Amino acid sequence: MTNQAETNPERREALLDCLALFSRLYWGPDEGLCRELAGEGAAALQGLASWLEEEGKATLRALQAQLESYGSAAQMCDQLNPAYVRLFVSHPGGPAAPLYHSCYVGQGLVMGPPAMAMAQRLEEHGLALEDKPGEPPDHLAAELEFLIYLLEEGGAGRPELLEQARDLASRFMLPWVRDFSRRQEAETECPLYPLAARLLVSVLEGVAGGSA
């Protein structure tokens, strides 16, 4: 990726829109999200194409093809909802890819050091998970929302927050999100989720590299 996104508002907006879609996807799919992914959301994803590397572009094309394969938003939801529970929430033997950062470090227990670190980051910025008060702060969707905040505020004249965004993406998020993606490689019943995870890795790599 290049650094053009730093001076191109449209490129930055495309990134923010896509990160918001990822966040909504990982909070859990609903009819509204599925309608968006079947319509305007697909166009928003296309906005990433101009600054993804070749591997990321290939993943984007595969994800777009998967979205186009659904006959309707309802059909999409019918596949995504049970797969979400099976992959991320509850399954005999444990879900393949939990959505909590803490599950990927140390003993893999919920509310581990990453949750404490995220709670501190949120407190330092006067933020809270108001819409999801019962969720640990190291839920993937919550980390994405914080990344969006840093990028938005950084782009609005606080360059030190852009540096924080790069640090969050590179040192805090990428190591475990890469593992999160790898754990979905064997998933075939619902290809959208592993494709989304691979694309998210490419996006975070771009943010970490300074292209946001």
Q: Percent of the chain at pLDDT above 90?
A: 77
Question: Measuring CA to CA, which residue among 85, 36, 52, 91 is closest to residue 193?
Answer: 85
**Residue 56: partners with Cβ closer than 8 Å, 6 or more residues away:** 48, 199, 202, 203, 205, 206
Q: What are phi and psi of 116, to 5 degrees?
A: -65, -40
Average pLDDT value for residue range 52-60: 94
Q: How confident is the model at residue 34 (pLDDT cuts 50, 70, 90)?
A: very high
* pTM for this entry: 0.93
Q: In the predicted model, what is the mean pLDDT of the chain?
A: 91
Q: How confident is the model at residue 24 (pLDDT cuts 50, 70, 90)?
A: very high
So what's the pLDDT on residue 63? 95
* CATH classification for the domain delimited by 4-208, as one of 3.40.50.300, 1.25.40.80, 3.40.50.10710, 1.10.3480.10: 1.10.3480.10
So what's the pLDDT on residue 212? 65
Measured in residues, the chain has a length of 212
Q: For residues 101 and 3, what is the distance between their CA atoms, to the nearest angstrom?
A: 28
Residue 203 near residue 18, CB atoms below 8 Å = yes
Residue 51 near residue 1, CB atoms below 8 Å = yes
